[in-house]
Structure 1
Amino acid sequence: MTDSAVTEHHSTSPLRQLATTHGLRVAGARPSLLAYARQLWGYRHFIGAYANAKLVASFSTARLGQLWQILTPLTNAAVYYLIFGVILNTRGQVDNFIAYLCTGLFVFTFTQGVVQQGTQSISGSLGLIRALHFPRACLPIAVMLTQFQTLVAAIVVLIGIVLVSGEPITVEWLLLVPTLFLQSVFNTGLALAMARLGAKLTDVKQVIPFVMRTWMYGSGVLYSVENFEKHLPAGVAVLVEANPLLIYIELARHSLMESAPLASPVPQLWLLAVGWALLVGFAGFLFFWRGEREYGRG
């Protein structure tokens, strides 16, 4: 160690000890994982208010306003039913195809919106990030809450479609609540992971539409996954059955429909749903937390 390094070490050590004694820490230092979680809980009201503001702002320029929360899923369902149910005639392969299609489409759209908006939640909010100090995870979590509110409106429409199409009300409808809760945990982790990727790699948002379209075709949204698996090798078919979106979609269909075809037994679906929610939820949170000091810089 050189004389200058020794002098610098001796001069900074007392200052470091003084800072430690009085509870001071490096500006911008990343908090521990548990402390970060506590900070997020402290900002829960901000997250909710920000999510509501984002939802209202997204429809502020439309004349029908938030009515589009209902019109959008109805329009999508009508278009996909026309193409796949009527033109390609897949409606004969599944009982009550309209309820089957709408359930898959609405549940998938929840995750699709979270991924698309979550990818831009950091890169599109740099002004807010640089102006205010708050846990950056508030932004992707708010994205999930915004999309969840949109989903709630879609579920109201879906229940009407299911009833009109002839499905009876059963106690199994209550299983839709834990299904959507687990999907929300999964989506939160996904939003956090995509937020960090989108902050570092701005071109990711250009690739997301292609990824989500491929994911939709492999999730049994538009047709029974059994028909999809017939054209796949056995090993790939197993991966399709473990697809988290397929799992949440099938659990939602099992909740609302009496005879929806399922790719896996119901107990296995629940185990996989819990596993994916815990794995992606925690891994996404950890991945985002590790980059907390990077957001808004450069």
Structure 2
Amino acid sequence: MDRSYRQLWEVYFTQLVFNLKTETRKTYLNYLWWILEPAMISGVFYLVFAVFLNRGTDDFLLFLLCGKIPFLWFSKTVSNASNAIVQGKGLIHQMVIPKAYFPSLIIGQDFVKQLFVFLFLFVFIIILGGEFTLNWLYVVPVIVSQLLLITACAFVAAAITPFIPDFRFIISTGMMMLMFGSGIFYSYEDVILKEHQELFLLNPLANLLKNYREVLLENIAPDFDALGLICLGSAVIIMLMLMWFKKHDSTYARVIVQ
């Protein structure tokens, strides 16, 4: 590996650890917030849909957690990464650094936190009567597929926002639409007409949520064909965005000072 890239990776992991430690020191509960935040948000939605609206089944809480927790990972990381290059303008003006570094740092930080959240999810499923089997290992390719999808979307958001700052508002609106259009609160098999279900699953996030539930709640293998397509599409977008960042590297330094 080239020395400059090795040094960049060293800086990346050093800053990642430093940022995580700094973030936890700002609160009294430290690392517990990584778990409490998604748990509290999921609890509110459970109260609304399962209790007040009486729309849930006996296992609705687990169903909701398997949808809401992965969605929160996606929405928070893409939203946070959208402003990553602008927030890194201080470092950009001091040294030449690949612009993909900044959203990648956000992706890495949120992924570390998400691992703890997934651990909470697995334990909670067992506590509420879920059955742990070796089939749960199938969740690894689902997580990897989502990580690639998040990386692709985060790169796109980070690339556009410095040129169009209002794009952050579009992202916020898009996340709201995805939240209601990805089957977080409902089973697509019960709500959507059978002839429209394949169209619904073209939404990669909805497809991932379906696979999470099949692995963790039904103990069956995920749809590897669908995961493969998600990984392939995400990888293509990531490569294109890396080429974009490289081509327009000097442009970002001029744009973010305006």
Using the size of structure 1 for normalisation, the TM-score is 0.77
Instruction: After TM superposition, give the deviation of residue 267 of structure 1 in Å.
Output: 4.2
Distance 1:87 1:286, change over 3 A: farther
Q: Amino acid of the residue matched to residue 52 of structure 2? A: I
Q: What is the aligned-residue identity percentage?
A: 24
Cα deviation code 1:70-124 (max 9, x no counterpart):
11111111111111122222212xx622111111111111111121111000112
> Aligned partners of 2:109 and 2:49: how far apart in 1?
29
Distance 1:239 1:54, change over 3 A: farther
Task: Specify the structure having the higher radius of gyration (Cα).
Answer: 1
2:40 to 60, 75, 82: 75
Matches within 5 A, 1:188-227: 188-227=151-190
Which residue of structure 1 lines up, in the alignment, with residue 234 of structure 2? 277
Which residue of structure 2 lines up, in the alignment, with residue 26 of structure 1? none
Distance 1:40 1:113, change over 3 A: farther
Answer whether contact 1:242 1:272 (CA < 8 A) is retained.
Answer: no
The size of the alignment, in residue pairs, is 255
- Alignment RMSD, CA only? 2.6
Instruction: After TM superposition, give the deviation of residue 42 of structure 1 in Å.
Output: 5.1
Which residue of structure 2 lines up, in the alignment, with residue 88 of structure 1? 53
| Structure 2 unmatched ranges of 5 or more | none
Q: Secondary structure at the match of 1:214?
A: helix
Using the size of structure 2 for normalisation, the TM-score is 0.88
Q: Amino acid of the residue matched to residue 245 of structure 1? A: L
Q: Secondary structure at the match of 2:161?
A: helix
> Aligned partners of 1:285 and 1:183: how far apart in 2?
19
Q: Secondary structure at the match of 2:243?
A: helix
Indicate yes or no: 2:112 matched with 1:149. yes
> Aligned partners of 1:140 and 1:59: how far apart in 2?
20
Instruction: After TM superposition, give the deviation of residue 141 of structure 1 in Å.
Output: 0.6
Distance 1:240 1:282, change over 3 A: farther
Indicate yes or no: 2:212 matched with 1:249. no
Q: Secondary structure at the match of 1:91?
A: coil
| Structure 1 unmatched ranges of 5 or more | 1-34
Q: Secondary structure at the match of 1:122?
A: helix
Instruction: After TM superposition, give the deviation of residue 187 of structure 1 in Å.
Output: 1.4
Which residue of structure 2 lines up, in the alignment, with residue 286 of structure 1? 243
